[in-house]
Structure 1
């Protein structure tokens, strides 16, 4: 008989999941291997340790990241309460005192009467027959547990490397320059957007790229990239024409109206069915965020690009969520096993915590015999879930929350000005979340 939940991993997602289970009156055992064993990125024995930046990004509720935080506050997130309590000055962002934050998370978890913390390593995913299991072992998952999860997910559905290209807002593109066409396709409008370059523009671009600043590798990372997902700046280092024969190949991309042929072309692929967000094909990168904006805005058509997500390449274990998970964060083939955190296929501190919140909520409901729930699509939580389950499998990559993941806004009468859309999304999301909370509490 199910009477408790087992959680593996005491990071952000695992700690939040434990809190959400316990606050619903269900016992939980939380396994954390520290301090007996540390991953290459961890230093403190505390739960909820932040391993990189101490910033949780924007706190403005009319931004996607700020809206996600506000929704988490509405859902009684422990980690948001800890973050707000231990905040340090950071302008419009929410940043925390790293040590005080982890201390508060640890204290709240260890003192809860329904939470038992076991300081030991788990090497295999437990059988969910005795109760739901939440796997929140973090992006550096490795060893026997990673091997077991890879077996459970089926072959190639567990990745160990992130190669993420930037995503831009379609409305920020210069449509006087950008044209629509698929390579070699002379019929129809084409599925790709194209940013054309003449020789002078191309040489200027690779000069900027070749001299741009990159993010230094962590001590536990090695510069061993897959040939199929090399950083764009590494390809540039291999010679001035490498990109022209790679992701910027102009062959088959003559302008559909003028017939003009170009020296190089940057292709953009739709990130969602609504066509509101596009990613730069083949532009995974380790450039710093500031350099990405500076260099990539030199591409014709992207002069005023608004970046919904910036590129990165780093060590990160995650599942191919559309193949592995359902909308409740359970494994499709193994009901009762939930994935949370970056392992589920999201990117970022807050996104990982939010998936822990939802996994904890549903695991507790499973023990109580209640119907599992999924947040509305137009909320930040719901938009992340839709990204996990509805992205085309071959193009799936982890993502931060951004408004490009949300359903399009319905315009009634006048079109909503761009500067006002964040406020409209906030109002709609919080209203939907409030109604959803009332519905699921019945």
Structure 2
């Protein structure tokens, strides 16, 4: 019988399931707290852990795709979630999709049968004050625990009906059209600006008003009234032809040095009728956020309509705009790249709660948080992965992004460090990202004495 105090994992989603498994595989006892079925969430339908509440797909399988690369990294690291996804895979073209009922039932039984795991069906309303704890409660964290987390952080805790703007790869923006400038030249030029003529603006406005919106779930529709402070761009457009021009697309205070001074009568006709701004999203300037373009349009509609904007005709989107009930913490202010809270290193968090988006990202965060929780219990130093890996880059992003504008992020190649030599062909570039990442992961595993396909607890480092 182990003399190590059990680690408590709160939340039985994908992140909590993965974290629990990694802790137990390390030889450390663990209690997984899941409030279902005693208290159901508005999105779940069963009592099983790791229930997939939306799609049954983990994303593209090919390793030259961001999700596929993260799948492969997790296979190398001994992920139980990805192992079960592979086992219960169903045909889905190039995606890793699963039989969701068999998948979650198998994971539940697997955890229940492990001698070091206790699956406790109870609601946790407060963060345990002592011991090692992993928070994996996801975007539907209960109100009581949300309030306690707000008290713990002492910050404006993010729990609201949320809309996020799309994010575009910088290399896909036509910078012969877009220009760098900050409004009224305040500080260093920090925005890419896409100017529009009156004809271009009216064409875009008409398409935006007519575009098809995504359906909201019943529980999300109930909370949509809180959304006025972050109005979707299509709703703003429907309020009038000029509403956007007096809002995020206002064409004032911006100077395109290539065109000369707009105050010069000869240049007056060159002045934009409207301007779409993109704000730098990452340290390297590889990702750009469409300012004010929070939206509930269907993803296909977003691509069609937003590519009508001059300079974005070939835009490559790494995150589409979304509108949904969401709960997440301001990770750049609160977390280390090890997923430990700065103000309490024995408290860790993972999954959508920390601002990673998607099933695979939640599982990956669970792997890291569970691994580091186990290492803390065993008296070992916590680990951070190389930023050239998809998992390492994703965690680095959520822990170092600009806190003021922080929004959840899915796995994507735009968050990886640039290649030493620029590669124009996208497929070839992604292949080189993959090869570099998997090679660096192999080296990292070797340096930490982690055998491929096993848990990180075996290391003596």
Contact 1:28 1:114 in 2 (8 A): yes
Aligned to 2:202: 203
Is the aligned partner of 1:342 residue 2:352?
A: yes
Give runs of aligned pairs for residues 231-250 of structure 1, distance below 5 A: 231-250=232-251
- SS of 1:156's equivalent in the other structure is coil
Aligned to 2:111: 109
Aligned to 2:152: 152
Structure 1 stretches (4+) deviating beyond 4 angstroms?
A: none
Q: Name the CA distance, whole Å, in 2 between partners of 1:46 and 1:138.
A: 15
Residue range with higher mean Cα deviation, 166-175 or 78-87? 166-175
Q: Name the CA distance, whole Å, in 1 between partners of 2:77 and 2:369.
A: 13
Is the aligned partner of 1:271 residue 2:281?
A: yes
Contact 2:334 2:343 in 1 (8 A): yes
Contact 2:163 2:322 in 1 (8 A): yes
Contact 1:375 1:381 in 2 (8 A): yes
Q: Name the CA distance, whole Å, in 1 between partners of 2:237 and 2:424.
A: 41
Aligned to 1:75: 77
Contact 1:160 1:318 in 2 (8 A): no
Residue from 302, 312, 318 that aligns with 2:328: 318
Q: 1:107 to 1:187 in 2, by over 3 A?
A: closer
Q: 1:152 to 1:2 in 2, by over 3 A?
A: farther
Q: Name the CA distance, whole Å, in 2 between partners of 1:360 and 1:165.
A: 31
- SS of 1:314's equivalent in the other structure is strand
Residue from 427, 431, 444 that aligns with 1:419: 427
Contact 2:337 2:384 in 1 (8 A): yes
Aligned to 1:54: 56
Q: TM-score when scaled to structure 2?
A: 0.92
- SS of 2:97's equivalent in the other structure is strand
Structure 1 residue 221, shift from structure 2 partner: 0.7
Is the aligned partner of 1:330 residue 2:340?
A: yes
Aligned to 1:218: 217
Structure 1 residue 254, shift from structure 2 partner: 3.7
Q: Name the CA distance, whole Å, in 2 between partners of 1:418 and 1:187.
A: 34
Contact 1:61 1:70 in 2 (8 A): yes
Q: Name the CA distance, whole Å, in 1 between partners of 2:230 and 2:363.
A: 28
Give runs of aligned pairs for residues 27-66 of structure 1, distance below 5 A: 27-66=29-68
Contact 1:181 1:253 in 2 (8 A): yes
Provide, for residues 192-226 of structure 1, a one-character-per-residue CA deviation record: whole Å limited to 9, x for no partner: 11111111111111111111111111111132243
Q: Name the CA distance, whole Å, in 1 between partners of 2:158 and 2:317.
A: 27
Residue from 303, 309, 325 that aligns with 1:299: 309
Structure 1 residue 330, shift from structure 2 partner: 1.1
Contact 2:91 2:97 in 1 (8 A): yes
Q: Name the CA distance, whole Å, in 2 between partners of 1:241 and 1:254.
A: 21
Aligned to 2:455: none
Is the aligned partner of 1:368 residue 2:367?
A: no
Contact 2:81 2:107 in 1 (8 A): yes
Residue range with higher mean Cα deviation, 273-282 or 393-402? 273-282
Q: Name the CA distance, whole Å, in 2 between partners of 1:356 and 1:160.
A: 23
Give runs of aligned pairs for residues 164-175 of structure 1, distance below 5 A: 164-175=164-175
Give runs of aligned pairs for residues 17-32 of structure 1, distance below 5 A: 17-32=19-34
Residue range with higher mean Cα deviation, 153-162 or 384-393? 153-162
Structure 1 residue 342, shift from structure 2 partner: 0.5
Cα RMSD, aligned residues only: 1.5
Provide, for residues 17-71 of structure 1, a one-character-per-residue CA deviation record: whole Å limited to 9, x for no partner: 0001011111101111111110000101111101111111111101111111110
Structure 1 residue 416, shift from structure 2 partner: 5.9
Give runs of aligned pairs for residues 352-367 of structure 1, distance below 5 A: 352-367=362-377
Give runs of aligned pairs for residues 83-94 of structure 1, distance below 5 A: 83-94=85-96
- SS of 1:226's equivalent in the other structure is helix
Contact 1:33 1:122 in 2 (8 A): yes
Aligned to 2:139: 139
Aligned to 1:97: 99
- SS of 2:315's equivalent in the other structure is coil
Structure 1 residue 394, shift from structure 2 partner: 0.4
Contact 1:50 1:98 in 2 (8 A): yes
Q: Name the CA distance, whole Å, in 2 between partners of 1:432 and 1:272.
A: 22
Contact 1:159 1:320 in 2 (8 A): no
Contact 1:157 1:324 in 2 (8 A): no
Q: Name the CA distance, whole Å, in 1 between partners of 2:441 and 2:187.
A: 44
Provide, for residues 130-185 of structure 1, a one-character-per-residue CA deviation record: whole Å limited to 9, x for no partner: x3100111211132111111101113043334321111111112222111111111
Contact 1:297 1:304 in 2 (8 A): yes
Q: Name the CA distance, whole Å, in 1 between partners of 2:279 and 2:429.
A: 23
Q: Name the CA distance, whole Å, in 1 between partners of 2:129 and 2:119.
A: 19
Provide, for residues 85-131 of structure 1, a one-character-per-residue CA deviation record: whole Å limited to 9, x for no partner: 11111111111111111111111111111101011111111123xx3
Q: Name the CA distance, whole Å, in 1 between partners of 2:50 and 2:185.
A: 51
Q: Name the CA distance, whole Å, in 1 between partners of 2:427 and 2:408.
A: 27
> How many pairs align?
437
Q: Name the CA distance, whole Å, in 2 between partners of 1:347 and 1:162.
A: 14
Contact 1:186 1:256 in 2 (8 A): no
Q: 1:201 to 1:336 in 2, by over 3 A?
A: same
